[in-house]
Amino acid sequence: MTIRPLHFLVTLVMPLVAAAQNTGTLRLLVDPGHNFEFVLDKQYRMQQREVKLGEGLHHFAFWAPERMIVDTNVFVIADRTTDFVLKLPYSPEYMQYRQELAKYETKRRVARTIPTVATVAGLFWTGVNVVKYQKVRQDLEKDQENYDINVDPGSIRTLKDQTIPQHNEDLRSARTGLYTSISFTAVAAGVTYFLYRRSARWERPTLNDKQKVLFEGLTWVPTRNGGFFHAGITIPLAR
Amino acid sequence: MRWITAILLVVVLHGCKKLEVDIGSLNTNPFDNDHTGAQFIRVDSVKCFPLGQGALHQQRLYIGLDPQLTAENDFELRLIELTVPDTTVYSNIADGATSVVLLNQQVTLGTEYCYLIDLKVGGGYLRNHRLNHCAVAEL
């Protein structure tokens, strides 16, 4: 009988006490700014830029993708809005991932660019040789026409002894150059094709974000409709 | 990749064609020393005529000229007499002439006289148009 009035009193007074507790606002200015999350007082996982908290010391564990978890305590002052500035450092895994990715992209770029440039150069070279070959062919055709219409035996002799043999030699030389450039272009094109196919199968580095796994331990995520427990599990699929 | 292959194939086929001029088979121009066809000059006839009242006679070689020769070029003829060695050059041949007469001023009747007749066009003699002709001097 004596407990019932006390219980009633506590029930009546506690909300009033809670309402009367002083709160302060904490504005979170955290780099990267758009997608950071934090766990408040080791219990509540939240993703917002401003929190209203009761006065006193509160524990925060901040995290964002690709960044390190930063644990810190913040003292919230009642009836005041305080700016909390923090730059989350990049995680070592992410830095390593960036290095591996850069190495991978450089390797792939080199494997694709050099043979491609060689192929284009080969095509250009072939084009130049085709033009050269055509010119020598035209010279020989002119020689043939000149022979047919020439009425000067001396000129005909010069044509047959010097001009035509020289142009024949030029044609052979141009043909050799043409075949060389064609062979070079064909090899370069083949290597380009092969390296494109092969580099397409190269495994792209992936980010193993251990900080995320650590951060996503079992936490309570409050929402407007109550809240839920959030648990993270990591299954290593790579052998 | 396919278009590169196609381009290269076309170029290879293009380059495979044998296009050198075969100098050995280049002999269709009649002004070429290697020409093997018809000659520009020919001996139409040879006749003897007395020189005055004596025993001296003149042998005339009537040389026919190909119209293509006279139409195209300045030319001259050289008469080389082999029996009694002598050489005469005939350079002032009228344009468009179809024949020319070459003379051996002194021949003895009954004797055979042999001649080489050369054609010179431009800077050199056409060896393939050389005529080698022998005739007995007779009335």
Substitution target in B21, B32, B39, B126 with the highest count of A β-carbons within 10 Å is: B21
Spatial separation of the C-alpha atoms in residues A212 and A215, rounded to whole Å: 5
Is the CB of B8 less than 8 angstroms away from the CB of A182? yes
Mean pLDDT over A213-239 rounds to 66
Is the CB of A151 less than 8 angstroms away from the CB of B124? no
Distance from CA of A124 to the nearest CA of B (A): 12
User: Identity (one letter) of the amino acid at A223?
Assistant: T
Assign A96 a pLDDT band (cuts: 50, 70, 90). very high
Is the CB of A151 less than 8 angstroms away from the CB of B12? no
Is the CB of B11 less than 8 angstroms away from the CB of A171? no
Which residues of chain B does A191 touch, with a Cβ-Cβ cutoff of 8 Å?
Answer: none
* The pLDDT of residue A225 is above 90: no
Spatial separation of the C-alpha atoms in residues A19 and B1, rounded to whole Å: 76
Q: What is the pLDDT of residues B120-133, one digit of tens each?
A: 988 778 888 999 99
Tell me the two tokens of residue B133.
């002709």
Spatial separation of the C-alpha atoms in residues A62 and A50, rounded to whole Å: 13
Spatial separation of the C-alpha atoms in residues B122 and A97, rounded to whole Å: 86
Q: What is the pLDDT of residues B65-109, one digit of tens each?
A: 988 887 767 889 999 999 888 999 998 888 888 899 999 988 988
CB B111 within 8 A of CB B57: no
Homologous superfamily (CATH) of A22-91+209-230 is: Immunoglobulins (2.60.40.10)
Spatial separation of the C-alpha atoms in residues A175 and A71, rounded to whole Å: 75
Residue B6's pLDDT is 73
* The pLDDT of residue A20 is above 60: no
Q: What is the pLDDT of residues A151-175, one digit of tens each?
A: 888 889 999 999 999 999 999 999 9
CB B76 within 8 A of CB B89: yes
Distance from CA of A102 to the nearest CA of B (A): 28
Residue from A23, A20, A37, A18 nearest A81 by CA:
A23
CB contacts under 8 A, B 38-97 vs A, are 72-73
Distance from CA of B72 to the nearest CA of A (A): 7
Length of chain B: 139
Q: Which residue matches tokens 């079992």?
A: A218
CB B115 within 8 A of CB B134: yes
Is the CB of A157 less than 8 angstroms away from the CB of B124? yes
CB A34 within 8 A of CB A26: no
Facing residue for B29 by CB, picked from A156, A167, A175: A156
Facing residue for A119 by CB, picked from B4, B14, B33: B4
pTM of the predicted model, to two decimals?
Answer: 0.64
Q: Which domains occur in chain B, in start order? A: 38-136 (2.60.40.10)
The ipTM assigned to this model is 0.76
Residue-by-residue DSSP string for B80-91: EETTTTEEEEE-
For B116, half-sphere exposure in the C-beta direction (CA atoms, 13 angstrom radius) is 14
Supply the mean pLDDT for chain A: 85
Substitution target in A129, A133, A156 with the highest count of B β-carbons within 10 Å is: A156
A-B contacts at Cβ under 8 angstroms: 84
Mean pLDDT over A131-136 rounds to 94
Is the CB of B32 less than 8 angstroms away from the CB of A168? no
Any B CB within 8 A of A152 CB: yes
Domains of chain A, by residue range, sit at: 22-91+209-230, 103-200
CB A170 within 8 A of CB A142: no
Mean pLDDT over A56-71 rounds to 91
Q: What is the pLDDT of residues B3-41, one digit of tens each?
A: 767 776 776 666 666 678 888 888 888 888 888 888 899
Residue from B102, B113, B33, B40 nearest B70 by CA:
B40
Q: Which run of H or of E encompasses A30?
A: strand A23-31
What are the residue ranges of helices labelled H in chain B? 2-16, 67-72
Strands (E) across B12-130 are located at: 41-50, 57-65, 75-81, 86-90, 99-107, 112-121, 124-125
Helical axes A164-200 vs B2-16, angle rounded to 10°: 160
